[in-house]
Amino acid sequence: EAQVTQNPRYLITVTGKKLTVTCSQNMNHEYMSWYRQDPGLGLRQIYYSMNVEVTDKGDVPEGYKVSRKEKRNFPLILESPSPNQTSLYFCASSLYGKGDEQYFGPGTRLTVT
Amino acid sequence: TQLLEQSPQFLSIQEGENLTVYCNSSSVFSSLQWYRQEPGEGPVLLVTVVTGGEVKKLKRLTFQFGDARKDSSLHITAAQPGDTGLYLCAGDRYGGATNKLIFGTGTLLAVQP
């Protein structure tokens, strides 16, 4: 089944404790991205990747890191999480880029206390 | 500054009513996508509009792209409880120097039986 998987689905952590949210897709997609979703603000793009080893900032990259060592994986790293990073996070992938259908993962709800 | 503004933000209607959701911008887009997101899940693509003035129909849903490709609308005829969800528009900005995909603020629709 073609899908985007994210882990964990739920995470409660404390300020400053490094964490990684994994994202994997099995559709051989070139383009992958991370979004955060907050009430009233819609989906805001954090980082995106056009291909392996190619990543670029989205609209809200501060406090986040990403890597794209393999085509299928695109982990999101929070080196020192803060309470303002409490949010619902989505990973997405598409065949080539922003104009193609985006396939979203199920989301990761992160709470930073 | 939000590049894509959606209205209304919230809409609660009775089954059988018609409704229209708007997605507006001062920027020109190469294409616009509409997604629906149900609770606990990631957004799922409904349609992509590419040509100015284009109208696409998906059963009871009618999507229109403005002539100037700056706005779009989604009209639902005879809404049903299954239409309940968050509707998001997303734009591929024309002439944009980056590969960022821009999402609107979202319209939360509740259809009461």
Interchain proximity A107–B9, CB inside 8 Å: no
**Which chain A residue's Cα is nearest to B32?**
A99
Bridge partners, B48 (sequence order): B33
The DSSP bridge pattern shows strands A108-112 and A10-13 to be parallel
Interior angle at CA B32, CA B26 and CA B36, nearest 5: 115
- CB contact at 8 A, B49 and B63: yes
The DSSP bridge pattern shows strands B10-14 and A108-112 to be unpaired
Q: Is the predicted pLDDT of residue B55 greater than 80, yes or no?
A: yes
- Compare CB distances from B105 to A41, A56, A102 and report the shortest one's residue: A41
Please give the share of chain A, as a percent, with pLDDT higher than 70: 100
Average model confidence (pLDDT) across chain B: 92
Q: Is the predicted pLDDT of residue B1 greater than 60, yes or no?
A: no
Q: Is B33 on the interface with A (CB under 8 A)?
A: yes
Q: What is the DSSP string of A65-112?
A: EE--SSSSB--EEESS--GGG-EEEEEEEESSSTTSPPEE---EEEEE
- CB contact at 8 A, B18 and B80: no
Interchain proximity A98–B92, CB inside 8 Å: yes
**Which chain B residue's Cα is nearest to A59?**
B100
Q: Chain A: nearest CA to B61, how far in angstroms?
A: 18
- Max intra-chain CA distance, chain B: 46
For A76-87, what is each residue's pLDDT tens digit? 999 999 999 999
Lowest mean pLDDT among A38-47, A69-78, A87-96: A38-47
Q: Is the predicted pLDDT of residue B112 greater than 70, yes or no?
A: yes
Q: How confident is the model at residue A99 (pLDDT cuts 50, 70, 90)?
A: confident
